[in-house]
Amino acid sequence: MSSELVTPNVIEVHGVSKRFRNCQALDQVDLLVPQGKVLALLGENGAGKTTLIRILTGFLKPDIGSAQLLGHDCGKDSVEIRRQIGYVSDSPALYEWMTASEIGWFTSAFYDDAFPDRYQQLIREFQVPIDTKISAMSKGQRAKVALALATAHDPKLLILDEPTSGLDPIVRRQFLESMVDRAAAGRTVLLSSHLINEVERVADVIAILHGGKIRLIQPLETLKHETRIVTATMDDAHVESPVPRGEIFSSTISGRQRRWVVGKLAENWRDDFTTEEGVRHCDAAVPTLEEIFIAVCGQPLEPSTEPNEVDEEAEMMT
């Protein structure tokens, strides 16, 4: 019998769907994230990232499916979950009339004894003026206070919705690198971001949401190892070409040129091209994460004919 311990997943999402009137924001989403990983959740505007995060943090109920964080049901145990995790929303609400120092003192009442020292340390590192009222702070300074509040209790899971927007490049880098340290210390991070190049430096696992569906979820290393941009030049624009074996993320034809972004590309893919008449040249190159993202998100969606209406019932839960 194996003596290996099975680490439970910190995030477990099974078949979650959420509809807002005429908009299917999430469609049968499954997501399993083990402990000690940085998961980057990528997706274009309106892909469903915030909706998923709001379900995980208990602010929204899914129509169907189940979601658990740290073994707790996201709907039923949301108070316990919020105590155990750190969460920064895309527009954090802070008490405007308090100073950075006062808001830290106020929040420390909910957490362990180590919170105040860690908070003060983070505020110093971020160079936030401790006695300035939140209302008088810049956007970046407010973002730093929100981050310090979310991380000072050293949560097992940190959920960040666009955490670095508003931060200057130096703090952004410092902050993202601290995510790697957190993961190395066994903490888990879910990072939703549009800044793909930055995410690429810190993520262990990439999940791409597109039109409410998870289109891709893979360890970044595997993704880079197995995904290639395959190009082929044909003798003639009208000649049919073979298609590389693997998971086709995108396919482009321009005159005699063919281009595919292919996941899990078969090792011997060239065999199909070299034996085919009419193929003048073929090659494969390593794509950037941004190129993979654009290829995956370039897939057509089912058309939506009506504009979105705000679902007031869902809004009231927040």
Ligand X SMILES: Nc1ncnc2c1ncn2[C@@H]1O[C@H](COP(=O)(O)OP(=O)(O)OP(=O)(O)O)[C@@H](O)[C@H]1O
* Interface positions with ligand X (CB under 6 A): 20, 23, 25, 43, 45-51, 308, 310-311, 314-315
* Helix, strand, coil percentages, rounded to 5, for the chain: 30, 30, 40
Bridge partner list, 42: 208
Which residues, 6+ apart, have CB-to-CB distance to 41 below 8 Å? 49, 52, 53, 190, 191, 192, 193, 207, 209
Question: Residue 243's closest CA among 234, 251, 233, 235?
Answer: 251
Nearest in space to 147 (alpha carbons), one of 207, 110, 94: 94
Give least dist CB 254 to ligand X, A: 30
Least CB distance from residue 207 to ligand X, whole Å?
12
Q: Is 72 exposed, middle or buried (0-12, 13-18, 19+ CB in 10 A)?
A: middle
- CB of residue 250 to ligand X, shortest distance in Å: 20
Nearest distance in Å: CB 10, ligand X? 21
Considering beta carbons, is residue 33 or 229 the nearer one to ligand X? 33
Q: Tokens 């008490």, residue?
A: 95
Sheet holding 23-34, edge to edge: 23-34, 9-20, 64-69, 72-73
Antiparallel, parallel or unpaired: β 157-161 and 85-88: parallel
**Nearest distance, CB of residue 189 and ligand X, angstroms:** 17
Of the pair 184, 301, the CB lying nearest ligand X is at: 301
CB nearer to ligand X: give 136 or 301: 301
Count how many Cα atoms sit within 13 Å of the Cα of residue 161 in the half-sphere of its side chain. 17
Place of tokens 């109920």: 61
Residue number, 237 or 301, with CB nearest to ligand X: 301
In the complex, the smallest distance separating the C-beta of residue 129 from ligand X, rounded to whole angstroms, is 29
Select 47 or 234, whichever has its Cβ closest to ligand X.
47
Amino acid letter at 159?
I
**Beta carbon nearer to ligand X, 23 or 239:** 23
Q: Report in angstroms how near the CB of residue 248 gets to ligand X at its nearest.
A: 24
